[in-house]
A and B are shown apart, each in its own frame.
Chain A
């Protein structure tokens, strides 16, 4: 098989592959920035839970209007924001908070599945769980692109305070800053998760966000460089995942997440073995 047939042809001939590619690229651009900040702020678990928090709202949207991307998103946004606001109120001990978040995640997921299964078919359930990256229509594409643009702009404007508050949260507040940067960031996380939910479903939505960022983080770069590398990993995982799923007839969302996971594995092994090797071959790590 020629390189052209392997890489270009699927996108050249099939409109749904092109739509999927554009959606994944738009998502990769925001996921690099949002995911890197999530990883740096040690909020991976919070991201995962918020990913499931989208579910009951999306299910209610589904009950109201069927499988319409607009209503799924609006419902998901509403429940995502509600849960993010509630999570802000839970300021208990760390372990109790973790247990609470996990309990919440299971309940939200089950409730969402029950609601969708009540009125819909198994196909609908699969759709909300794993997404439909190959069935993205123009309206969904527009929504994803809009959400991605808004998130990238907001993060670009708030980049400095977000980066600083992740490192030393007390610093800005002691210096007299009262702006709710943390809340603004959580809002961006929810918006990004809802955009990812369209393509990857509630179970995988956080994958394309966290895995490329975690992979980039292994390389020990600065905040901005980590974001750029995470975006690059995300783009690569999207293209490779879509092609693998096309040629091998595999589900696309999981294929993309698997490639991102592979990039994380390679980054982790490469950097940790380099750190172990460096003193032996006389270089500084």
Chain B
């Protein structure tokens, strides 16, 4: 179902990316390139600008200076922090997952039966088969994160941005989600994830970007990650 992505598809180049919140500078002159098909962890202390970087790449946060260069037709999927999701919103798990195929049905058409079947299949991949009809307010945090991952799968994007995907979820969920991240990587998609667990970064992420408002280190995890402790 999922095709491999061509080499050039998932490339993202940052040129002096600078973001401000009012007068506070959240991210200053970050430059570099995420190669197509790379799997990168973004690490750094609280307030280092990790989430801001993802939001800037996703086009959700406006840049004060610099640019994010992406191929014009590149499809991008963005998983915000769980806290940004309104869990009291009247939406079922199935509806949430189906939203992932927004690029297929768009603003003015309703998703068809074929799509709902696909949504159900994807729900099974992340272990949510029995939860499809439930409102998102009644499932656990881990299950919500699984549902959001299912939505990402349906988005079928060349670039996938994950903001703290493993925060506040149990070990079993982490292993299901991590399998999915590995699968995306194998499929040749570019995956960029904000993470706190450095052991997990060492074990599963080939590249690392260390942020402290500026880019401290960026490259192979074995080389870049030690900068985090310094």
A contacts, CB < 8 Å to B? 40, 42, 92-93, 157-158, 160-161, 164, 166-168, 170-177, 179, 220-223, 226
Contacts and interface: CB of A to CB of B under 8 A. Distances in A.
Nearest to A285: B138
A167 B102 CA distance: 14
**Which of B84, B91, B135 lies at the interface centre, i.e. has the most chain A CB atoms within 10 A of its CB?**
B91
Nearest to A223: B90
27 contacts: A42-B86, A93-B22, A157-B108, A160-B107, A161-B107, A166-B86, A166-B89, A167-B85, A168-B84, A168-B85, A168-B86, A170-B55, A170-B80, A171-B102, A172-B102, A173-B58, A174-B60, A174-B77, A174-B161, A175-B103, A176-B59, A176-B75, A176-B103, A221-B90, A222-B90, A222-B92, A223-B91
Interface of B: 22, 55, 58-60, 75-78, 80, 84-86, 89-92, 99, 102-103, 107-108, 110, 135, 155, 161
Contacts of A170: 55, 58, 60, 78, 80, 84
Given A92-B22, A175-B102, A168 B90 contact: no
B176 to A, nearest CB: 21
Interface of A is mostly: helix
Contacts of A158: 107
A160 B90 contact: no
Contact of B77 (A160, A175, A221, A222): A175
Contacts of B86: 42, 166-168
Contacts of A40: 89-90
B26 to A, nearest CB: 13
A175 B90 contact: no
A177 B55 CA distance: 15
Nearest to A157: B108
Nearest to A93: B22
